[in-house]
């Protein structure tokens, strides 16, 4: 693909470009791994050394004149944009599209006669679809997926191999459920009794709204009553545990190994970094951010950034961390002061 073609297709995001636009671009690569013929990107001046050493033929740059001159002196074609990472993501899509099988129903699939299957659906080998399931148009169900009774799956949703969708779960349109994920399994509900534990049946629903993506081996549990809900366009990483009755807003990003207990309420556009833990019934406001390994035991206000366990405001956490590294020194000073008393 000519660099000029890339410029034409990404034109809405481009503010400026170099004159050498007729280079042939064969693919995309990270700036430190790029080879001749590839397109890469940098997000700011701190990546200037990598721009000098890259093997790329073209780069996506921020609107920075020094970086543009640097690229020009190295003979690189370049385009400028206020959102380099976003444009790079769109450039990847020009060279790569995920595998999408041709619509068909494999003869080894087991489909209950009451199931309703939409138009142009792909159902792979050894898929099991139970009674009263509804699958929308253009859905893709990869091999070995198991769908329990009364599940509803929206248009253009993809279920990757070996995921399991439990009874009465509702998955919207344009969702992606990756391999090994389990949607709508029983929540961890037990009542203590004299002889041990009484199982509380989990009779509720698990609902994923449109555009939700769920990573490999993630579990989203159904509640005893009511619903567990994940809002529109929320993205969930691998190995995440979402407890029964949790309510997650729209546009959230939840990174790997995050775990939340039952009844958690998360607002819109919340970011949870890796290994965040959230206690039962905690509430997190719109736009809040929790850094990696944060332990959230109580409510977090909208827009707040928290770190540490138990969670504290991020700026306070940074000050405390600075002091923590000096604790041996402070302890020795304290011992000397105590001896003087």
Q: What span, in angstroms and rounded, lies between the C-alpha atoms of 68 and 45?
A: 10
Residue 138: which residues within 8 A CB-CB, separation 6 or more? 103, 118, 119, 120, 121, 155, 156
Strand ranges (E), 160-266: 164-165, 170-171, 176-177, 182-186, 190-193, 196-199, 205-208, 213-214, 219-222, 227-230, 235-236, 241-242, 247-248, 253-254, 259-260, 265-266
Task: Read off the tokens for 276.
Answer: 């965040």
Q: Strands 253-254 and 271-272, how do they pair? A: parallel
Task: Read off the tokens for 336.
Answer: 């000397």
Q: Is 244 annotated as catalytic?
A: yes
Q: What span, in angstroms and rounded, lies between the C-alpha atoms of 298 and 291?
A: 15
Q: Phi-psi category of 156—alpha, beta or left, where left has phi over 0 and alpha has psi -120 to 50?
A: left
Evaluate whether 148 touches 111 at the Cβ level (below 8 Å).
no
Q: Which residue intervals of the chain are DSSP H helices?
A: 3-9, 48-53, 65-73, 84-95, 314-324, 327-340
Burial status of residue 109 (CB atoms within 10 A of its CB: 0-12, 13-18, 19 or more): middle
Q: What span, in angstroms and rounded, lies between the C-alpha atoms of 218 and 239?
A: 5
Residue pointed to by tokens 């366009």: 233
Catalytic annotation, pick one of 138, 160, 244, 314: 244
The residues annotated with a catalytic role in the active site are 244
């Amino acid at each position: 693909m000519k660099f000029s073609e890339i410029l034409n297709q990404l034109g809405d995001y481009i503010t400026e470009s170099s004159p050498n636009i007729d280079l042939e671009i064969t693919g995309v690569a990270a700036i430190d791994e790029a080879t001749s013929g590839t397109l890469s990107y940098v997000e700011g001046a701190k990546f200037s050394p990598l721009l000098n050493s890259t093997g790329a033929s073209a780069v996506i740059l921020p609107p920075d004149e020094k970086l543009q001159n640097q690229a020009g002196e190295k003979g690189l074609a370049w385009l400028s944009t206020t959102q380099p990472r976003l444009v790079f993501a769109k450039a990847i899509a020009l060279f790569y599209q995920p595998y999408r099988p041709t619509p068909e129903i494999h003869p080894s699939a087991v489909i209950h006669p009451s199931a309703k299957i939409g138009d142009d659906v792909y159902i792979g080998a050894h898929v099991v679809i139970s009674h009263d399931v509804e699958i929308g148009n253009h859905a893709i169900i990869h091999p070995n997926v198991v769908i329990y009774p009364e599940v509803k799956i929206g248009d253009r949703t993809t279920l990757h191999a070996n995921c399991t969708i439990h009874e009465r779960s509702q998955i919207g349109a344009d969702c992606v459920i990756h391999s090994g994920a389990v949607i709508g399994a029983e929540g961890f509900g037990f009542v203590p009794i004299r002889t041990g534990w009484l199982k509380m049946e989990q009779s509720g629903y698990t609902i994923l709204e449109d555009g939700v993506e769920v990573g490999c081996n993630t579990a989203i549990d159904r509640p005893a009553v009511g619903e567990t809900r994940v809002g529109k366009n929320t993205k969930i990483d691998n190995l995440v545990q979402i407890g029964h009755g949790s309510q997650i807003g729209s546009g959230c990003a939840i990174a790997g190994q995050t775990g939340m207990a039952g009844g958690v309420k998360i607002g819109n556009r919340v970011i949870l970094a890796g290994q965040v833990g959230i206690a039962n019934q905690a509430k997190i406001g719109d736009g809040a951010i929790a850094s990696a390994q944060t332990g959230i035991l109580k409510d977090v206000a909208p827009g707040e950034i928290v770190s540490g366990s138990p969670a504290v405001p991020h700026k306070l956490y940074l000050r405390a961390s600075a002091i923590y590294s000096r604790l041996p020194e402070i302890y020795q000073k304290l011992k000397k002061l105590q001896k003087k008393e």
